[in-house]
Structure 1
Amino acid sequence: MKTALVTGAAGFVGRHMEAELLRRGWSVDVCDIDDYAGGIDAHDIFRACRDVYDLVVHAAATAPHRAAIDGLPMNMALDLALDAAMFEWAVRTGQRRVLYLSSSAAYPIDYQRDFATARPLSEAMVRFDRYNIGTPDASYGWAKLTGERMAAAAVLAGLPVHVVRPFSGYGEDQGVDWPFGAFLDRARRREDPFLIWGTGEQVRDWIHIDDVVTGALAVVDADVREPINLCTGVGTSMRDLAAMMCAEAGYRAAFDLREDAPAGVACRVGDPTRMLDVYRPGVSLAEGVRRAMRALVGQ
């Protein structure tokens, strides 16, 4: 039986990754960061564990949502320490391979600041052999960019590492700190006016959590060793997503736009070309919204 360790198992991606690996017949151990109620602290694993896993999925991070990214910049220090401890442990103990969950936040914001200059974000836009690699999105982007640099160092030390860059992952059980989860909760309550942070015109590349997980594992199965986007290549604005949610809930709402709230960059859409060689997303945003609303009705 194949064995895996999933870090960040209390989080959105981590718990779905654990469920998928279990569904595939893997034996899975889990851990999270120190506020994981009743669970094992990842730092304790990295200090003391000598088990060797077929796959280590490193999804743990500190509150990777917009309010924390903009409001808690010192989370960067916590995330860097976590990634450094994981890679040092993985090399020292001879882990068989690591799947590192990076982020689209690692991309230079110069390509995302406004609609006039925005373009699909391709993996080649992040290069460590340049004098200026471009400024990523806030401290969280710097943490993920540095995590990718640690991954490259671990590869030089002999560790097989796969790096994926998920764009805006979403799903029916996502928390309300993320836009999709927050919008779903507002639609459930038939909120009117419907609150949207920013202008509502911010565009994101929404990818269902099923496609994030199965796409990431497809990268591992294909033994791809270069970073790969997990995205759809399709951009949808916050305003349009809110309208889809309201329509699925059976009502129309006015929008309450809070332009002083954290909103992120203007446009972030991925280039799926490299990913399509190994995986093709199967859940459209419309279907994802339908699934989420049906799950609420079933509660």
Structure 2
Amino acid sequence: MTQRVLVFGGNGFVGSNIISSLSETEYEPVSINRSQIDFSDPEQSSAITNLLRDDDIVVLAAAKAPAKDLDMLIYNICMMNNLVEGMRKKSLKYILNISSDAVYGDPDGKIDETSEMSPLNPHGIMHCMREKMLEQRIDLPIGHLRSTLIYGPGDPHNGYGPNSFIRLAMEGKDITLFGNGEELRDHIHVSDVARIAVGMIDNKIDEPINAVTGAVVSFREIAEAVVEEVPGVVKIKSRHRTGPMPHNGYRAFNNSKLLRLLEDVKFTDLREYIRRLVRENA
């Protein structure tokens, strides 16, 4: 019998890409989204249970993100509580929780899976709490995929970085950087995150894995790569910072655990992605 994989949040940015990657395998992906069930409604936990079968694999990609304030944090915790209550009544084969690198603080040097969980904002606190809720209340194999900054087509957030820079340039608008755009960050393509998720499912990895490339690039370098590819006159401007530089301007990762456990993982080249996307939409 084909192995079912239920993806809660299967129509979201990450969830839909996981569905797509699963569709290229022998798994039977099933997308569950909030148009079918209100995950935040406590009365819907029995409906969640009824969707599940013993021996199903579940991917938890449903979240209202990024969680920017206390109300959003509480909403996401209530959602996870209802999902946990629904899942506890079934003997599932494996659970993959889509988390975030925001669970970590700002340690000296590179971050890896042994770094202290010390979230700095509501989004990180939310993901940290959701991980702990799963681990403490469900006695099943659970993996946590902690992704860094994600880029790629279909991003609903238009966050500062590759996605918004490309959209601005394609509209003929200038790109404005915070300060000089000197922060060094790791960026990973959403399809790479999806393939890592499938790899974790294949191997039933029941521990945290950071979905990171292990390389860093500055926001200015990204903006310059975009401007170089976009025809017309698009300028890079700077905006004076009103607060401290996030993460002290440097957030890098050691991805040796990922490469050891998933030897075949490959990463999309950010500059090549920019070049291809711009030319496809020219």
Tell me the residue number matched to 1:259.
Answer: 241
Q: 1:97 aligns with which of 94, 99, 111?
A: 94
SS in 1 for 2:97: strand
Map 1:62-211 to 2 at 5 A: 62-64=64-66, 69=68, 72-109=69-106, 111=107, 117=108, 119-126=109-116, 135-154=118-137, 157-179=138-160, 180-192=162-174, 194-197=175-178, 199-211=180-192
Q: Name whichever of 1-10 and 252-261 sits farther off.
A: 252-261
User: Could you tell me how far 1:25 is from its partner in structure 2?
Assistant: 4.2
Structure 1 length-normalised TM: 0.82
Q: Tell me the amino acid that sits aligned with residue 240 of structure 1.
A: E
- For residues 5-48 of structure 1, the C-alpha deviation after alignment (integer angstroms, 9 at most, x for no partner) is 11222321011111111232433322334xx5xx4433466331
Q: Tell me the amino acid that sits aligned with residue 82 of structure 1.
A: M
SS in 2 for 1:108: coil
Q: What CA distance in whole angstroms lies between the structure 2 residues aligned with 1:78 and 1:176?
A: 18
SS in 2 for 1:92: coil
User: Could you tell me how far 1:63 is from its partner in structure 2?
Assistant: 2.4
Contact 2:21 2:198 in 1 (8 A): no
Tell me the residue number matched to 1:57.
Answer: 59
User: Could you tell me how far 1:287 is from its partner in structure 2?
Assistant: 2.1
Aligned pairs, how many?
A: 271
Q: 2:193 aligns with which of 194, 206, 212?
A: 212
The question of 1:286 aligning with 2:271 is answered yes
Q: Tell me the amino acid that sits aligned with residue 233 of structure 1.
A: G
Structure 2 length-normalised TM: 0.86
Q: Tell me the amino acid that sits aligned with residue 236 of structure 2.
A: A
Contact 1:100 1:163 in 2 (8 A): yes
Tell me the residue number matched to 1:242.
Answer: 223
Q: What CA distance in whole angstroms lies between the structure 1 residues aligned with 2:133 and 2:235?
A: 46
Contact 1:105 1:144 in 2 (8 A): yes
User: Could you tell me how far 1:198 is from its partner in structure 2?
Assistant: 5.2
Q: Name whichever of 199-208 and 43-52 sits farther off.
A: 43-52
Q: What CA distance in whole angstroms lies between the structure 2 residues aligned with 1:198 and 1:101?
A: 32
- For residues 36-71 of structure 1, the C-alpha deviation after alignment (integer angstroms, 9 at most, x for no partner) is 5xx44334663313222632111111122xxx53xx
Q: Tell me the amino acid that sits aligned with residue 154 of structure 2.
A: D
Q: Tell me the amino acid that sits aligned with residue 176 of structure 2.
A: L
User: Could you tell me how far 1:146 is from its partner in structure 2?
Assistant: 1.3
Q: What CA distance in whole angstroms lies between the structure 1 residues aligned with 2:139 and 2:204?
A: 15
**C-alpha RMSD of the superposition:** 2.4
Q: What CA distance in whole angstroms lies between the structure 1 residues aligned with 2:165 and 2:204?
A: 37
- For residues 192-233 of structure 1, the C-alpha deviation after alignment (integer angstroms, 9 at most, x for no partner) is 3x2234551222211111110101211221222221111011
Q: Name whichever of 81-90 and 11-20 sits farther off.
A: 81-90
- Judged with a 3 Å threshold, the aligned counterparts in structure 2 of structure 1 residues 30 and 144 are, in CA distance, closer, same or farther, namely same
User: Could you tell me how far 1:240 is from its partner in structure 2?
Assistant: 1.2
User: Could you tell me how far 1:272 is from its partner in structure 2?
Assistant: 0.3
Q: What CA distance in whole angstroms lies between the structure 1 residues aligned with 2:135 and 2:17?
A: 26
Counting aligned pairs with the same residue, the percent is: 25
- Judged with a 3 Å threshold, the aligned counterparts in structure 2 of structure 1 residues 278 and 267 are, in CA distance, closer, same or farther, namely same
